[in-house]
Each structure stands twice: as C-alpha cells, then as structure tokens.
Amino acid sequence: MNKESAYLLLNKYITTKSLLNHSQMVAIAMQAYAQKLKKDENSTHNWWLCGLLHDIDWEKYPEQHPNYAIEHIFPEIELPDEVQHAILAHAPSRTGVIAESEMDRYLFACDELSGFIHAVSLMRPTAYDGMKVKSVTKKLKTLNFAANVSRVDINNGVELIGEKLSDHILFLIDVFQDAKQKNLIN
Ligand SMILES: [Fe+2]
Ligand SMILES: [Fe+2]
C-alpha cells in the first residue's frame, strides 16, 4: 500500500485532528528509526505504515481497538503480517500479543512517548524548537501532567529498544522539530 492510499484509508476512519496528528507523528518516528537502523526502502516504508495505521480504528471502535482493524480493515488492504503483528503488540492488554520483533518493539516505544512529547510541545510557544530532554523528563515525573499517558508503557518501551530514556527522547524531539518545520505535524 503506497503512502497516498494509506492516507486515504486513514482519513476514512479518522476525522479527529489530534488523532490524525498522532498517527502522523508515530509514522514519522517509526520511519526515522527505520532509517537509523539502516532498513532498506521497502521495510522503512512498512515501518512508516505501521506507525500511520496503528490507531486507525481508535476513533470509531475504541472498545475493539486494535482488534477491529485486524479483523475488518487490514484484510481488505493486505497489510504485511509483520505490520499487523506490531499493531497487535502495541496494545498487549487488549490483544494478548507481546512485542517481539524489532518493529513491534519500536512501535511500542514510539507510541506513548510521541503523545507525551506532543503534549509538552503544546505548553511551549515554540513547540518542539528548543525543547530540552530535561523538561520532558521533568514533566514525566509530574504525574498530573498528561495523566492519560502511561509512564509504565514509556519505560517499558525504552527497555524494549535497549535505549536510554534520554537518548530516545532526544531522538524524537529532533525528528519532530524537523517534521514540524516541514509542516508535516502540529
Ligand atoms: Fe493504540
Ligand atoms: Fe497511538
């Protein structure tokens, strides 16, 4: 599935601007990590797709997310199995699927943290520009800030990819700064 059809599909299921933005952020984060890990063009595209589509059924079928997408949306588009597995594994409590492959682990690691960094950006006049790792880690310790973002999942995520939390945050801040400058995200 090429980028254009992926966006068309996403927009068929999601109308909320914030969820579209989240999907785009996670897609860009996944793509950036695939490039960092020197994946070839085809698998880099699959990493991007995985990020873009991971929450596709969240707006319309929150109770069944992400199982609805696996059962009813993805079969029609023949999404690669590894992408579907990663999407199942980003919600282990709902699917019973644990993150195993590299794609699984990076999706898990990018999802909640992207949401959190976005929440931090909304507090700053310059958004991601000049955002410091320290201000993100400080906000992570402020439990009533973006309280819906699971700190446990963020910590599990960095463990899954074997990074230091500060390095993972720094990497994503850089990626989002660049994406914002290109008007790819809010
Ligand atoms: Fe999700
Ligand atoms: Fe998500």
Establish if 107 belongs to a structural domain: yes
Establish if 153 belongs to a structural domain: yes
Domain range for residue 82?
3-181
Domain total for the chain? 1
**Which pLDDT tens digit goes with each residue over 10-59?**
999 999 999 999 999 999 999 999 999 999 999 999 999 999 999 999 99
What is the model's pTM? 0.97
Establish if 121 belongs to a structural domain: yes
Q: How many A from CA of 150 to the centre of ligand 2?
A: 12
How far from chain centre, in Å, is Cα 56?
A: 12
Q: Work out the end-to-end distance of the chain between its first and last CA atoms, rounded to an integer number of angstroms.
A: 25
Q: Which residues of 11-45 are buried (b: 16+ CB within 10 A; e: fewer)?
A: eebbeeeebbbbbbbbbbbbbbbbeeeebeeeebb
Which ligand sits closest to the CA of 110? 2
**Sign of the C-alpha dihedral, residues 39, 56, 183, 29?**
negative
**Which pLDDT tens digit goes with each residue over 116-174?**
999 999 999 999 999 999 999 999 999 999 999 999 999 999 999 999 999 999 999 99
Establish if 39 belongs to a structural domain: yes
Which residues, chain by chain, have CB under 5 Å from ion ligand 2? 55, 111
Q: How many A from CA of 108 to the centre of ligand 1?
A: 9
Q: How many A from CA of 90 to the centre of ligand 1?
A: 7
Alpha-carbon gap, residue 12 to 23, rounded angstroms: 13
Establish if 172 belongs to a structural domain: yes
Establish if 186 belongs to a structural domain: no
- φ and ψ at 38, to 5 degrees? 60, 40
Which ligand sits closest to the CA of 115? 2
Establish if 19 belongs to a structural domain: yes
Establish if 177 belongs to a structural domain: yes
